[in-house]
Structure 1
Amino acid sequence: MFALIDCNNFYASCERVFNPNLQGKPVAILSNNDGCVISMSDEAKKLQLPFGAPIFKWEQFCKSNNITVLSSNYPLYGDMSTRVMNILAGFSPDIEVYSIDESFLELKGFENYDLSNYATKMRSKILKWTGIPTCVGIAPTKALSKVANKIARSNLKQSKGICIIDSEENRIKALKWTKIGNVWGIGSRLKKRLQAKGCETAYDFTQLPSDWVLKNFSIVEWRLQKDLQGISKIPLEDAVTSKKMIATTRSFENTYADLENITERISTFASSCAKKLREQNSNCHVITVFLRSNRFDKNQAYLKENKTVFLSYPTDSTLTISSAAIAAVKTIFKEGVNYKKAGVIISGLVPNDNFQLNLFSHENPKHKPLMSAIDNLNKKFKGDKIKLGNQDLNRTWKMKQNRLSKKFTTNINEVLIVK
Structure 2
Amino acid sequence: MTPIDLLSSDGSPVSGLFALRQLVAAMRPAVVVEPSALAPLQASPRKVIAYDHRGLERFDALPGEDSKRENPRRKLMIERLIERGPERSLGAWPSDAMFEALEVLKTSHPNFLEVTEYVIGEAVLAMEQGRAICGLRLLFSGPPGIGKSDYAMALSQALGLPLRISSMSAASSGFEISGVDEGWGSSRPGMVFEEIVEGPFANPIFLLDEIDKVSDRNRDAVGGLYQLFENHTARVFRDRSVPFVALDTSHVNWLLTANEVDEIEPALLSRFHHFEIALPSREQYAGLIQRLYQQTAQGMGLAERFPAELLGADVERLLDFSAREIKRVLRVVFLNAVTSKTDGLRFEEAVLKLVGGTERGAASGFQGVRSARRGGSTRAIGFIWPNDSEVAQ
Normalising by structure 2, we get a TM-score of: 0.27
- In terms of Rg, which structure is larger? 2
User: TM-score, length-normalised on structure 1?
Assistant: 0.26
As a proportion of its length, which structure holds more strand? Answer: 1
